[in-house]
Amino acid sequence: MEERPPAAPVLAVSDGDSEDKATGGGVQSIGRAFAILEEVARNRQGIGLADLSKRVGLHNSTTFHLVKTMVSLGYIRQLKDKRYRIGRPLFALAASALDEMEMVSMATPVLEHLSLTTGESSHFAVRMSDDVVVMARTPGPSKFQLTDRVGVVRPAYCTALGKVILAALRPEQFDRYLDRVEFKPLTSRTIVDRQRFVQEIEDVRTSGIGFDDGEFDEEVRCAAMPVRDFSGQVVGAIGISGPVWRLSFQALQSRAKALAAAAAELSSALGAAGEEMP
């Protein structure tokens, strides 16, 4: 008898069928696999097999075979308590697709609308080591505008954008940051006391908004909120800034609703779920 070549691996075992069914012009098991990935991604603390099966509408055995394959490929990982979470290869794929230029492209129209709504300059920044770098900005409609350029690097500890990004760090990451950073007084309002700064970041975590009340530049006030990606992780911050003589702290707070809407819009463009919005 002629020896047959080994069969190509399949993604999943379907419910009671030996062959994968095509539904709606697509392959059934692939559709199921993506449904599982999306459900696992929505549960940042992990999800068990029984709950996962129930939410995607599949038998436990079918879900198990699909998840087992994705675990072997690394796209899903199993925790010690048997719950499932998204695996690192998926993040690598997302990072490749969502490069800096694409983030800037997505951020720019959001910033333009935010500037028109608030009348102030708008910024989008990401973390760069212990600092933040402004990736995109738009000026407001008023005649007097701050002259800050794209690509400028600012300390995280004394900027609204930076505080928001620091507030998203894991406790151990934040502790290491505190051990490294030197709190230099850039203005008379810069927070240089470690205990006071820790409380400031805790306030940002609680409220979802960070402020810079003349801490980097005594003539400038700023507010910022987090921007999240498809995994719910904070990937940057969006903020507004203006001169202190025009933008009082109360005026800054009154623009929080517009800022929150912009943060939600950009986060949604990056794939974040609605419940992850600030």
Question: What's the CATH number where 149 sits?
Answer: 3.30.450.40
CA–CA separation, 115 and 72 (whole Å): 47
- 1 vs 39, higher pLDDT: 39
Domain end position, chosen among 93, 118, 135: 93
Segment 80-96 mean pLDDT = 79
Answer with the residue of higher pLDDT: 80 or 196.
196
Residue whose structure tokens are 């517009």 = 258
Predicted confidence at residue 29, as pLDDT, reads: 84
Domain annotation covers residue 61: yes
Instruction: Using the 3D structure, point to which of 71, 93, 115 is the last residue of a domain.
Output: 93
Choosing from 93, 118, 143, the residue where a domain stops is: 93
pLDDT tens-digit readout, 105-150: 889 999 999 999 998 999 999 998 899 999 899 987 766 555 566 7
Distance CA 238, CA 161 (A): 7
Whether the predicted pLDDT of 19 surpasses 80: no
Tell me if 13 is assigned to some domain: no
**pLDDT number for residue 50:** 93
pTM of the entire predicted model: 0.66
Indicate the SS3 state at residue 241. Answer: strand
Mean residue pLDDT across the chain: 84
pLDDT of residue 252: 87
The 10s digit of each residue's pLDDT in 239-267 is 999 998 888 888 888 899 999 999 999 99
Confidence (pLDDT) at 8: 36
